Structure 1
Amino acid sequence: MAKHDPLDTVLKLALEAEEKAALQLKSVQITLKKCLDQQQALQNYRLDYMKQMEQQQGSVISASNYHQFHQFIRQIDDAISQQVIAVSQAEVQKSHSQQNWQAKQQKRKAVELLLEHKADQRALLARKQEQKMTDEFASQQFFRQPRR
């Protein structure tokens, strides 16, 4: 029965950690996409509203409507500013999550490399033992042959 290598357990844990980090990165990427989409929607809404106001240019607009327009634009601008902050925070989070995932991936690859190196060493040792047995068998056959 082959011995269980503790590195197999380390590899299993490293794989789980990498998968968890990948899922976290995917989640953060989705959040970032939503933030960017929302920011774009707010900017489009502001642009549409400005176009509607521009179309009304030339017609008589009451002072209260004009004031409401500017107040509404300020509210949209505030929402856009808040969304820019949210996008920035999501980008920072994405960067951290990506670095974390890459570190977990690097650790997994290092453990796999160690396991591969150990397997190569075991195979080399097995070939040497097989060669030694073959040489020993050949020398015994040589010495057992009757001399002529």
Structure 2
Amino acid sequence: MTQPFSLQPLLNIMQERTDEATRKLGQLLAAEQNEKSRLQMLEQYRAEYAARMNDATSQGVTRMVLRNYQEFLARIDDAISAQRQAVQSSENNTRAGQEAWKTQNKQLKALDTLSQRHDIRQRYREGKQEQKLQDEFSTHKYSGKEPQDT
């Protein structure tokens, strides 16, 4: 009779936790990519706006228009700075998520290895028992006796 793996409930829990860590890591990676895309968009917008300001100043503008361009560029620079911090924070969260996933995965693999070893031992025992029954059957078949159930 096959004995169930005594740590199977724990293995199931670890599998669920690893699945959750994998899902969370996917979300963190997506969030990081989103933050990086926003930063890239802001930097591109700033470059375009700075080019417009250069074009306008080369054609001659009033001090008020130039000051408006400069103030708006300063606000864009502030937004870029804030977005860089958001990217850094997101990268830190992703690294933490990767470490959590690695830890969970390592624990799951350890339990899975124990489960596989248990299965191998069970198959070995069953094979041994089956061989014993076959040997008994063969011995009794040739001796003319019926095998007894044990």
TM, length-normalised to structure 1: 0.85
Aligned to 2:88: 88
- Which deviates further from its counterpart, 56-65 or 37-46? 56-65
1:127 is matched with: 127
Take 1:127 and 1:2, find their aligned partners in 2: how far apart are those partners?
11
- After superposition, residues 46-125 of structure 1 pair within 5 angstroms as 46-125=46-125
Aligned residue pairs total 145
Residue 21 (structure 1) aligns with: 21
Give the AA of the match of 2:78: D
Question: Which whole-Å CA distance do the structure 1 matches of 2:24 and 2:55 have between them?
Answer: 47
User: Normalising to structure 2: TM-score of the pair?
Assistant: 0.84
Contact 2:39 2:80 in 1 (8 A): yes
Taking structure 1 as reference, are residues 39 and 55 closer, same or farther at Cα in structure 2, changes over 3 Å only?
same
Give the stretch that moved more between structures: 125-134 or 77-86. 125-134
Paired AA for residue 31 in structure 1: A
Identity of aligned residues (%): 25
Per the TM alignment, residue 37 of structure 1 is displaced from its structure 2 partner at its CA by 0.9
* Most deviating of 53-62 and 22-31: 53-62
Hey, what's the Cα distance between the residues in 2 that align with 1:46 and 1:77? Answer: 8
Per-residue deviation, 1:57: 2.8
Unaligned runs of 5+ in 1: none
Question: The residue matched to 2:75 in structure 1 has which SS?
Answer: helix
CA distances 1:73-114 after superposition (whole Å, capped 9, x unpaired)? 111111111111110110110011011112212222221111
Superposition RMSD in Å: 2.1
Equivalent-residue separation in structure 2 for 1:138 and 1:93 (angstroms): 66
CA contact (8 A) 2:35 2:87 kept: yes
Give the C-alpha shift of residue 59 in structure 1. Answer: 2.2
CA-CA distance at 1:129 after TM superposition: 2.3
- Distance, in Å, in 1 between the alignment partners of 2:87 and 2:114 is 40
The aligned counterpart of 2:36 is 36
